[in-house]
Structure 1
Amino acid sequence: MEIGDYEPLSISNLQSLIILMEKPTIITLIDGLGMGGAERLLIPYLRYLQANGFALRVCALQERHGNPLAAEVAALGVPVDLLPVPYLRDITAVPRLIAYFRQHQADLVHTQLELANTLGTVAAAMLRLPTVCTLHTIDELQPGSKTARRIRLMWWVLRHFCQRIVAVSEETRQHHIATAKFAPAQVVTLYNGIDLSHFEPRDLACQTAVRTTLKIPAHAKLLTTVAVLRQPKGIQFMLDAMPAVLTAVPDAHYLIVGDGDYRPELEAQMAQLAIDERVHFAGQRRDVADLLAASDLFVLPTLTDALPTVLMEAMALHLPLLATAVGGVPEMVQNGYNGLLVPPGSASQLAQATIALLQDEAKRREMGENGRLLVEQKFNIQRQAAELASLYRTLLS
């Protein structure tokens, strides 16, 4: 095209220009607003996306543990709604979502977690709205199970109707390209990120106060796990490792932060192993950063995970990591650099690695410093939110 030439402005181009000039409305549709990793990540993303020129709104489909994060979303000035959908087969769900998207003049819908991914993507597609879906998990399906049927339905919907699928790790991306048969160009890897300003080291007085509250001696070697208490999180294997750890490191204590259906089994296992004086169940907590800052080692014995947010939080607080080599975890834990990796389901190797780290303060300090550098470089929310904002703008144009 020569200088001075022009193309007529089509209706579609004019609509795109108007959207980009105004603040586009992004609706995040999520299963619930409990204290899971995907839910907690939403808060810093919303904060930084607001600064990137978007009008935001959040809608939860279920009330999970009272939806405690709804108040934090509202505190940001982001409207938050509950549109109750009790189960996937609710035949009113899609029509109600269509009405909701129309009412709030959505320009783009971003879905998170299984129910929202399936129903929200269908509703948005019927309105011809661009959609983004974030996959936070690597699902290992049991053939013929109800869960497998639900996940395969979600995959089918996303494969046909979702414009862009965000995988939280490269392992998650490759897994879904292979198993869900997504087109490689449809799936992008975007690591999650955290707001580092909320994870600065605490002073000694704060650490001492936390330990006093939990009845953990100030001199104890404290290893901590933060997780929803479910069987796949692998905490049962860390409990099995504790007798060997206590033999080698008599002043060790193990703090388990979180709650869930598997807690009674874990407490029974603790009692059977006679380690109840050294294992502490803290339940669901809002002061996770303070608890991590009072710890000496972070342990995540999970059997499957895509990209655990809590590993980023532990790294930000200069904690060395001990984790299992599953999913996207090796993309976060560089063995020997910021922590140690062991195979999943091995109590003996968990014990061996725990003992090695608890007995080497210099190595723990070095790994903690390396972890902080890594999270600053790779898992910084400002950088990740800017990439997500760029993806939104690409789809909106």
Structure 2
Amino acid sequence: MKILQIINSLDTGGAEKLILETIPLFNKRNVQTDLAVLNGFDYPFLKILKKLNCCSIFSLGNKSVYNPFLIFKIRPLLKNYDIVHVHIFPSLYWVALAKMLSFSKVKLVYTEHSTSNNRRKRFIFKILDKFIYSFYSKIITISPEVDTNIKAHLKYNNDKFVLVQNGINLDTIKNEKPISKKELLPNLENDSYILTQVSSFRYPKDQKTVIKSLKKLNDNVVLVLIGDGPLRNECEVLVEELNLSKRVFFLGIRMDVINILKASDIIILSSHHEGLSLSSVEGMASEKPFIASDAPGLGDIVRNAGILFPINDDSSLAKEISKLLENSEHYQETVTKCLKRANDYSIDKTITKEINLYKSLLEK
């Protein structure tokens, strides 16, 4: 069984992190799995995968992933694999069109990672999506909300879809050690508390609400923001406007995320919607209390384990942070419940379900 995973790039993100973690594990289980990226820029995740030397990696260019000529670079790859597993738009479109033009018999699988996207709001894309998704033998959905929404959008028979929750490598997180707070933030006062959010700086992420919450918290509470993206500058401007430059730290893309999470006092994810957020699961597995906005793709994961606050509500977020910092019993109870919930999202379960899906497609 030969599998090719295709994605836009290996930039930071949930789908990208999933590929980084699963491809080596697929190959360890004797399921030959390779990777093709529309944009082969040497992002940190791609560098890590190359160093592991566990698979073949095909770079199809280094320019825009929206270039339709990528279809012709994808076509020759299809004949070499039994199944091509695709992630993220526009890879979704280009692979389907490549299969149509090549008359290949390869089976296509697509993982739907998001509860929503702008295409679903436009009539023309509703028609195009129904055509494009039809080329995929199976559509994997990563959470109940993703499953419900894509079924409503496409209106296919339910047997076209299979729910496979994303997972993380729990053993890796358990074995990591916290980075020293002084190493992380050399000028940090000894009585300071660190809040951390890990997410790209693009919609639907909502770092601004977390930044605003600091104005309602004591001066010894600081915020660490990990990630990069087009909205980072807006957040930096907001920090200056609120006179918080000594309390908010932009660390960019880091490869020691788990070590930083374990050094933090509270982990936060403020967002407008998610698919199944691996960052939230990593946060809950890091032995720290986790707070998230009550958004699609987050609420169901976090409810009755971590703490939820209304979307865009910096006042409610500040109150929840204060409760945790002022009540050690509440703090530890939240940590315990978060750890228990994280155990439901083991990457081993994800891989086993996907391998069984591949086998069932090839048997047909």
Q: TM-score, normalised by structure 2?
A: 0.92
Residue matched to 1:184: 158
Aligned counterpart, 1:195 = 169
Indicate the residue corresponding to 2:33 in structure 1.
56
Residue type of the alignment partner of 1:45: T
The alpha-carbon deviation at position 71 of structure 1 amounts to 2.5
Match of 2:64 among 86, 89, 105: 86
Partner of 1:70: 46
Cα separation, 2, equivalents of 1:306 and 1:274:
34
Superposition deviation, residue 240 in structure 1:
1.6
User: Which residue number in structure 2 is paired with residue 347 of structure 1?
Assistant: 314
CA shift in 2, pair 1:54/1:349, >3 Å: same
CA shift, 1:201, in A, is: 5.9
Pairs within 5 Å for 1:29-48? 29-48=6-25
Instruction: State the Cα distance separating 1:360 from its structure 2 match.
Output: 2.0
- Tell me how far 1:51 sits from its aligned partner: 2.5
Decide whether aligned partners of structure 1 residues 48 and 87 sit closer, same or farther in structure 2, where only a CA change above 3 A counts.
closer
Contact 2:182-2:188 at 8 Å conserved across structures: no
Aligned pairs, how many?
359
Q: Distance in 1 between matches of 2:361 and 2:34?
A: 18
Runs ≥4 in structure 1, deviation > 4 angstroms? 142-145, 148-152, 201-204
Cα 1:272–1:174, aligned 2, differ >3 Å: closer, same or farther?
A: same
Aligned ranges 1:1-397 → 2 under 5 Å: 24-63=1-40, 66-74=42-50, 75-84=52-61, 86-88=64-66, 90=68, 92-102=69-79, 105-124=80-99, 126-141=103-118, 153-158=128-133, 160-200=134-174, 206-213=179-186, 215-246=187-218, 250-335=219-304, 338-376=305-343, 378-397=344-363
Q: CA deviation at 1:168?
A: 1.0
- Which residue identity is paired with 1:262? L
1:117-173, Cα deviation, whole Å (9 max, x unpaired) = 11113323530211111111122437877xx85676345311x11111111111000
Tell me, which stretches of 5 or more residues in structure 2 are unaligned? none
Please list the CA deviations of residues 363-390 of structure 1 after superposition, one character each: whole Å capped at 9, or x if unmatched. 22221122222212x1101111111111
User: Using the alignment, how far apart are the partners of 2:232 and 2:65 within structure 1?
Assistant: 25
Q: 1:220 to 1:45 in 2, by over 3 A?
A: same
Structure 2 CA distance, aligned partners of 1:292 and 1:87?
Answer: 32
5+ residue gaps, structure 1, are 1-23
Is the CA contact 1:201–1:293 (under 8 Å) kept in the aligned structure 2?
Answer: no
| Residues 73-104 of structure 1 deviation map (CA, whole Å, 9 limit, x = unaligned) | 231421111012735452x33233121222xx
**Contact 1:70–1:80 (CA<8 Å) still a contact in 2?**
no
Q: SS of 2:251's equivalent?
A: strand
- C-alpha separation in 1, matches of 2:318 and 2:130: 38
- SS state of the match for residue 121, structure 1? helix
- Please give the TM-score of this superposition, normalised by the length of structure 1: 0.84
Q: Which moved more, 1:47-56 or 1:292-301?
A: 47-56
Give the deviation of 1:272 after TM superposition: 0.8
Offset, 1:45? 1.0
Q: CA deviation at 1:72?
A: 2.2
- C-alpha distance in 1 between matches for 2:326 and 2:188: 19
State the identity %. Answer: 22
Q: Would you say the 8 A contact 1:208–1:218 is kept in 2?
A: no
